[in-house]
Amino acid sequence: MFSSIVVKNKKNLIFLHGWGGSWQSWFPILEKLKKDFNLFAPDLPGFGKNLISKPYNLDDYVDYVVEYIQKNKIEKPILIGHSFGGGIICKIVIDQKIAISKIILVDAAAIRHPHSLLQKINIVIIGSIKKILSLPLINKILPSVQKTYYYFTRQQNSDYATLKDDPIMQQTFKNIIQHDLTKELPKIKTPTLIIWGELDLSTLLIDGQKIHQLIPNSEFISYPKTTHFSYLEEQERFIKDIKKFIEK
All domains in the chain, ordered by first residue = 2-112+179-246 (3.40.50.1820)
Residue 168, helix vs strand vs coil: helix
Query: Which pLDDT belongs to residue 43?
Result: 97
Residue pair 13/81 in contact by the 8 Å Cβ criterion: no
Tell me the C-alpha distance between 159 and 161, whole Å. 6
Tell me the C-alpha distance between 149 and 147, whole Å. 6
Tell me the C-alpha distance between 197 and 179, whole Å. 22
Tell me the C-alpha distance between 15 and 222, whole Å. 20
Residue pair 82/16 in contact by the 8 Å Cβ criterion: yes
Q: State the Rg of the chain over Cα.
A: 18
**Sign of the CA dihedral running 51, 71, 4, 15:** positive
Question: DSSP for 104-123?
Answer: EEES-------HHHHHHHHH
With b for 16 or more beta-carbon neighbours within 10 A and e for fewer, the 128-163 pattern comes to ebeeeeeeeeeeeebeebeebbebbeeeeeeeeeeb
Query: Which pLDDT belongs to residue 161?
Result: 53
Query: Which pLDDT belongs to residue 5?
Result: 63
Query: Which pLDDT belongs to residue 157?
Result: 42
Query: Which pLDDT belongs to residue 121?
Result: 45
Q: What is the pLDDT along the chain (248 residues), one digit of tens a residue?
A: 777 667 778 999 999 999 999 999 999 999 999 999 999 999 999 999 999 999 999 999 999 999 999 999 999 999 999 999 999 999 999 999 899 999 999 999 999 876 544 444 444 444 454 454 454 544 444 444 444 444 444 444 445 455 667 899 999 998 998 889 999 999 999 999 999 999 998 899 999 999 999 999 899 999 999 999 999 999 999 999 999 999 98
Count other Cβ atoms within 10 Å, centred on residue 220: 16
Q: What is the pTM of this model?
A: 0.82
